[in-house]
Amino acid sequence: MNSVIKLSDSVSKIRGIGPRYLKYLEKLGIKTIKDLLWYFPFRYEDFAKIKKINELEPDIKTSVRGIVKKMDIRRSFRKKMFILEALIEDETGEITAIWFNQPYLKKNIPIGSIVSLSGKITQKGKKFIISSPAYEVISFSATNKNLPKETLHTGRLVPVYSETQGLSSRALRYFIKPLLKTTINLKEPIPDFLMEKYKLMNLSQALQQIHFPSSLFLAQKAKERFIFESLLLSQIFLLKNKKRNSLIKAPQINLNVPLLQKFVKSLPFTLTDCQKKAIWEIAKNLNQSPMNRLLEGEVGSGKTIVAMSAALLAIKSNYQVALMAPTEILAQQHYDKFKSFLSPFNLKIALLTSSKAKIYDNELEGDISKKALYKTISSPLIDIPIITIGTHALIQKNVRFSRLGLIIVDEQHRFGVEQRKKLISKNDNQKEIPHLLSMTATPIPRTLALAFYGDLDLSVLDELPKERKKIITEIITEKNKNKVYEFIRQEIKKGRQAFVICPRIEETENSDVKAKDLLDLSVKLNYEVKAVKKEHQKLSQDIFPDLKIGMLHGKMLPKEKEKIMQDFIKNKTNILVSTSVIEVGIDIPNASIMIIEGAEHFGLAQLHQFRGRIGRSVHQSYCFIFTEAPYQQTAKRLKILEKCHDGFRLAEIDLSLRGPGEFLGTKQSGIPDLVMSSLLNKEFIEKVHQEAKEILKQDFSLKKWPLLLANFQDFSKNTLQQ
């Protein structure tokens, strides 16, 4: 490798990285020198304590150095694996190192060499053993007095990286360490006044300390420096985006107060105060400036009614509306609700999915060919603009809108940025960009809202209709299941229905559930995951052979799902066994019971969303949380649901318990992984948010800080590509 390299150079310039490793590195998104240097460890093994052999203590992680005196390899007949044993000696004593199924180490660790070993010590009688230790040969000669002062894989805080098959943390350490000794033109992109104000570590030192830290304190200081930079770039990106959106010419929707009053009076229920507030915020936004707004709220808090009011204002201002939902079931449900509540207002409402096309026109409804519906939507001569409700079918190439004024995206986290862009691009009125209203039933803690949705205005529905009864929630252990089944039978005799939610479709024998999924981090489990198909069979044949039981999961065809849901809606089915596909937006007022199997596999926020599928009528509803994980931390977490019914509070608790990555469920586009670890620190995020605002206030172009601008341009390019 050359002594001088550029961050933009390919990793192929690094000695030892050939075609095979290039392929593995690319899997991790590593193509350039910068990608590799900015591929940070997610934890450290603390092997910094180096002890003489006679100082060792059992059950403690430590490091030892010694001469390899003996090396034997044998085969275990019972488990059919190779066992390699090495006798290591220093001036104070001996220790046996054991490796399993790594026979090649016999060549790598020759007899007579000096090795450094790190791992957990065990004691058998007077004999010390170190099993599967990290190792490195620090000299091939036992007489060498000039041993290296610094090791790479042992005897220090050792970085551990996210790996892929064929590429270990050990290999990554080999590639990264030499880079930190080369001359790389590292210029500090964070402005000097911020470096000084927040006492940030400089870039060169931070790279050294985040990969190979001298102490955990310095590793944390390095991490803080990179988190600050990533958050700063993220906030600048979002604020610039918000400013750019505010300059776009958008349709001016009339602030028609009498129309809103008429709509509210026509409803068969009283709106909550937060619904009224959200409707007013949205109405003013539509009238005054381009809307890019997130409507978040409790499950069952009435987001659809708020969206309807916005659609009504747009239609009566002679603009079209498009509502995109993630599933056919949910699109059909929205279509039915819009028909029901907007029928007094002389509107046209269309439904477009992959399997059907319908149109409702002034109380007349019928199927229509997709070709005819495309023509209706694209016609500029239509007398009454149309509300088109659909799935991904709305962004098919044949769909065009003549005068699209408002886009409503339900469960916005299910749709990517590109899909939303496609929907906007379907508008033939190129002079104006449609307003955007995104909806989500996942209560988002303020910390996450600021970090991920800083370019959106926020409307929050944090209360439920007053007539709603609180859902009785109870944790059920295996021995009490039969009592619950008998209770369900009695409720079904009264005419009620029940949901049963399972974590998987097919059963997986001895499925290895990662400990982090169960939040019992010290315990590895072999845990049989509940399967929808097996549960359906058990309930149908053994528990409720006299009842009608349906089954729903994401792998079914749309027509199958539609029939199953219609049977459940019409009470032709007593119990519906489903995966988490049921989570989004399904509204069955007669369903008053929910069982959640394998509840430990879900976060609190998701469990609360499941629970929100019931309790939507005058009937008392019950949520039974089944768990077979007898671990204290899991039980403590699930118990929170019994007492807490506030989705926003549960979201905060969920975020603190599981961390942002687990809470969000999926990797968020444009937000670096490192930022994730900072999202529990609300004050820190707000400080960086304010610094980003101040920087843009001083110079919106960022030309005043050319290095920050260059980094921001790279960040923006990577974000938009995701």
pLDDT digits (tens, 9 = 90+) for 186-235: 899 999 999 999 999 999 999 999 999 999 999 999 999 999 998 899 89
Question: What average pLDDT does the segment 456-460 reach?
Answer: 88
For residue 524, what pLDDT band results from cuts at 50, 70 and 90?
very low
Q: Specify the pLDDT at position 447.
A: 67
Based on the fold, state whether residues 106 and 215 are members of the same structural domain: no
Based on the fold, state whether residues 262 and 349 are members of the same structural domain: yes
For residue 666, what pLDDT band results from cuts at 50, 70 and 90?
very low
Q: Specify the pLDDT at position 650.
A: 84
Is pLDDT at 644 greater than 80 in this prediction?
A: yes
Q: Which domain holds residue 83?
A: 49-155
Based on the fold, state whether residues 519 and 547 are members of the same structural domain: yes
Based on the fold, state whether residues 179 and 190 are members of the same structural domain: no
CATH code at 9?
1.10.150
Q: Of 461, 480, 513, which closes a domain?
A: 461
Residue 373 lies in a domain: yes
What's the whole-model pTM score?
Answer: 0.75
Based on the fold, state whether residues 402 and 420 are members of the same structural domain: yes
Q: Of 644, 678, 703, which closes a domain?
A: 644
Is pLDDT at 511 greater than 50 in this prediction?
A: no
Provide the phi-psi class of 712: left if phi over 0, else alpha when psi is between -120 and 50, else beta: alpha
pLDDT digits (tens, 9 = 90+) for 293-319: 999 887 778 899 999 999 999 999 999
Based on the fold, state whether residues 108 and 171 are members of the same structural domain: no
Residue 145 lies in a domain: yes
Q: Specify the pLDDT at position 558.
A: 75
Question: What average pLDDT does the segment 632-641 reach?
Answer: 79
Residue 108 lies in a domain: yes
Residue 632 lies in a domain: yes
pLDDT digits (tens, 9 = 90+) for 399-438: 999 999 999 998 765 555 666 677 778 888 778 889 999 9
State the Cα–Cα distance between residues 675 and 690, nearest whole angstrom: 17
The H or E element containing residue 275 is helix 273-288
pLDDT digits (tens, 9 = 90+) for 3-12: 578 888 999 9
Q: Specify the pLDDT at position 47.
A: 92
User: Could you give the dihedral angle defined by the CA atoms of residues 551, 554, 556 and 560, in that order, rounded to the nearest 10 degrees?
Assistant: 60
Residue 662 lies in a domain: no
Regarding predicted confidence, which is higher, 530 or 137? 137
Is pLDDT at 631 greater than 80 in this prediction?
A: no
Based on the fold, state whether residues 434 and 451 are members of the same structural domain: yes
Based on the fold, state whether residues 640 and 679 are members of the same structural domain: no
CATH code at 591?
3.40.50.300
pLDDT digits (tens, 9 = 90+) for 9-34: 999 999 899 999 999 999 998 999 99
How many CB atoms within 10 Å of residue 546? Answer: 7
Based on the fold, state whether residues 352 and 484 are members of the same structural domain: no
Question: What average pLDDT does the segment 333-358 reach?
Answer: 92
The H or E element containing residue 115 is strand 114-124
Q: Please, are residues 154 and 135 in contact by the beta-carbon 8 Å criterion?
A: yes
How many CB atoms within 10 Å of residue 656? Answer: 12
Question: What average pLDDT does the segment 438-455 reach?
Answer: 76
Q: Specify the pLDDT at position 295.
A: 92
Based on the fold, state whether residues 79 and 128 are members of the same structural domain: yes
For residue 326, what pLDDT band results from cuts at 50, 70 and 90?
confident
Residue 467 lies in a domain: no
- Burial class for 716, CB neighbours closer than 10 Å (0-12, 13-18, 19+): middle
Q: How many domains does the chain have?
A: 5
User: Could you give the dihedral angle defined by the CA atoms of residues 505, 506, 511 and 512, in that order, rounded to the nearest 10 degrees?
Assistant: -30
Task: Name the average pLDDT for the chain.
Answer: 86
Based on the fold, state whether residues 206 and 331 are members of the same structural domain: no
Residue 337 lies in a domain: yes
Residue 112 lies in a domain: yes
Q: Of 644, 676, 705, which closes a domain?
A: 644
Share of residues in the chain with pLDDT > 90 (%): 52
Q: Which of 55-69, 231-245, 282-296, 523-537 has the lowest mean pLDDT?
A: 523-537
Based on the fold, state whether residues 615 and 506 are members of the same structural domain: yes
Q: Specify the pLDDT at position 526.
A: 30
